């Protein structure tokens, strides 16, 4: 080996430079991919079935007609027989969509004496859910 040539663990300077550029390229590529995946990262949602992508929470628009109900906690309920989706609007203004709900659960909810109690016992935490609209904050004058 000639004097003045630096080697890294027995590698020539050219090989060390190539290794450095390859390492740099892979690092930048990884950061780029991680940045592009950041918007698609799964975000936990209250459900028993796993994770729902963040876009599913943001892009939800309700087209399911809801019927007003007499309840202390629930303002209206809607159901899609075709999609098996139950939508509940709470008195605080929040709207949640529950997925994979059987028609019998909707029927039982609508006929329950206490809809809020039925919801707590049979729906809340038992079905995958997506927030359609957050709760409306009270404004005081």
50 pLDDT band (50/70/90 cuts)?
Answer: low
Q: Measure CA of the first residue to CA of the last residue in the chain; give whole Å.
A: 83
Give CA–CA dist 104/102, Å, rounded.
5
Distance of CA 3 to the CA centre of its chain: 61
* pLDDT tens readout for residues 117-128: 999 999 999 999
Alpha helical stretches, state H, the chain: 13-37, 54-58, 103-111, 115-122
- Give the chain's count of helices (H) and strands (E): 4, 7
* pLDDT tens readout for residues 10-46: 656 665 666 666 666 556 555 555 454 444 444 444 4
* pTM for this model (two decimals): 0.56
Percentage of residues in the chain having pLDDT higher than 70 = 52
Percentage of residues in the chain having pLDDT higher than 90 = 45
139 pLDDT band (50/70/90 cuts)?
Answer: low
């Amino acid at each position: 080996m000639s004097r003045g040539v630096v080697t890294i663990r027995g590698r020539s300077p050219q090989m060390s430079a190539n290794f450095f550029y390859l390492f740099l390229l892979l690092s930048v590529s990884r950061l780029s991919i991680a940045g592009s995946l950041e918007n698609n990262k799964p975000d936990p949602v209250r459900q028993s079935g796993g994770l729902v992508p963040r876009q599913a929470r943001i892009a939800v628009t309700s087209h399911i007609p809801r019927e007003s109900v007499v309840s202390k906690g629930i303002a209206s309920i809607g159901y899609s027989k075709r999609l098996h989706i139950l939508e509940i609007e709470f008195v605080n203004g929040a709207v949640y969509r529950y997925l994979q709900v059987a028609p019998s659960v909707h029927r039982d909810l609508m006929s329950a004496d206490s809809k809020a109690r039925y919801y707590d016992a049979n729906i809340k935490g038992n079905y995958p859910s997506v927030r359609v609209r957050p709760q409306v904050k009270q404004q005081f004058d």
